[in-house]
Amino acid sequence: MHDTSTDPIRVGKAILAGNELTVNGAPYEVRHRDDFAAFVQNTSAVVATGLATVFAADTGELIFDDSGAGAFSASGVEPWQQYSAAVLGYASDPSQANVIIGWCALLCLHSHFKPNEHVELKAIAFARYIAFTAFKAANATAEAVLRWDEYEALPVTIAGVAARLNGVDNAPENPWKDAIDLSLPAPGDLTHLSALTLVDAFGGDILVKGGKALAGAGPRHFICCLDDVSHVKGTGTFGTKLICGGVERRFRCESDGDEIVLRLLAQNLPTFNAAEGK
C-alpha cells in the first residue's frame, strides 16, 4: 500500500515497522487469538478514527457468510462504530474478527486509490498489519499454537522423519488452518475498480464466477470489482495476454467452464517499494 508510514510505530511494548513487529529488537509475531485481541485493542482508537474520516455514515455495516464472503447491509451504525464494537466483542465472539479484518482491508484499499491527508499514516499501518498479517491468528487458540510449537521443537530423527512421511506421528492440527481470505464489497466510491485495475496495483489473482469478478487487493483478501476479463475463454489450463496498466502482461488461466481463475505470471508482477513488504 502506497500510503503506509515507514517510520517505526510503538504498539504497547512492540514496534511496528515495515509491516513487521519487534519487541526489544527481536522479531515478534501475532500468532493466536490473545495476541490478535491485544493488538486490535491497542490500535482500536487510531484505526476507528481513520474509518470515521474515510467512510461516510451511509456505507453500512459489513456482514459475512460462513465462507468469508462479505456484503454491506444498510444500517444507522457507522463503520467506525461497527469496528469498535467488533473489537470489544471479539473476546466473546471470535466471528467478529471478520468485521475487524474486513474494515482494515477496506481502509487500506481506499488509502491506496484515494489517499486522505487527514488520516494518520499509522492508522493505515495498523490496519495493514491487521488485515494482511495478524488476521491469520484470529482463529488460533494459544493452546493450539503451543501444541504446534512443542511438536515442531521435537528432535529430528530418522524414525521421526519416517513417521511424518507416513502420516503416523500424531501431528497436531495446524492452528492457523481456519484463517480465511475474505471477499469484500467495494466501498461506494471505489465501485469503478475493475479486475485488471486491481491486478495492476497489487498483482493478485482474479476469479470470475457466476457473472461476478473478484480480484486480489493487497497480499490477501479479494474485492468485488467490475469484470473486464470474462472475454477470456477456454477450459483446463492455458495462457493469455491482457493489457494491464497500459502494458501487455501474461496470465496463467485455469477454467472448469463454470469459473475461471487468472494468475499474473511472476515476471509481470508490480514492483513494490520496501514499505509495502512482500
pLDDT for position 128? 95
* Confidence (pLDDT) at 107: 95
- Listed by start position, the domains of the chain span 9-140+176-185, 192-276
How does pLDDT run along the chain (278 residues), one tens digit per residue? 445 556 899 998 899 998 899 999 999 999 999 999 999 999 999 999 999 999 976 678 999 998 889 999 988 899 999 999 999 999 999 999 999 999 999 999 999 999 999 999 999 999 999 999 999 999 999 999 999 998 887 767 776 677 667 766 677 899 999 888 999 999 988 999 999 999 999 999 999 988 889 999 887 899 999 999 988 988 899 999 999 889 999 999 999 878 999 999 875 555 443 334 33
Beta pairing class for 183-184 and 222-225: parallel
- Rounded Cα–Cα distance for residues 73 and 173 (Å): 35
List Cβ neighbours of 209 (8 Å cut-off, separation of 6 or more). 258, 259, 260
- Would you state the cell numbers that stand for residue 36, as one nine-digit string? 490478535
Instruction: Output b/e per residue, 95-130; b: 16+ Cβ within 10 A.
Output: ebbbbbbbbbbbbbbbbbbeeeeebbbbbbbbbbbb
Position 18 scores a pLDDT of 87
| 91 neighbors 32 (Cβ within 8 angstroms) | no
**pLDDT reported for residue 178:** 86
Distance CA 139, CA 144 (A): 10
Residue 254: exposure state from Cβ atoms within 10 A (0-12, 13-18, ≥19): middle
pLDDT at 6: 61
Q: What is the grid cell recorded at 143? A: 493452546
The x, y and z cell numbers of residue 139, run together, are: 482463529
Global pTM value: 0.88
Q: Are 196 and 270 in contact (CB under 8 A)?
A: no
What pLDDT is stored for residue 171 in this prediction?
78
Given this model, what pLDDT does residue 66 score? 87
pLDDT for the residue numbered 271: 46
Amino acid in the structure at residue 7? D
124 neighbors 108 (Cβ within 8 angstroms): yes
CB 105, CB 128: distance < 8 Å: no
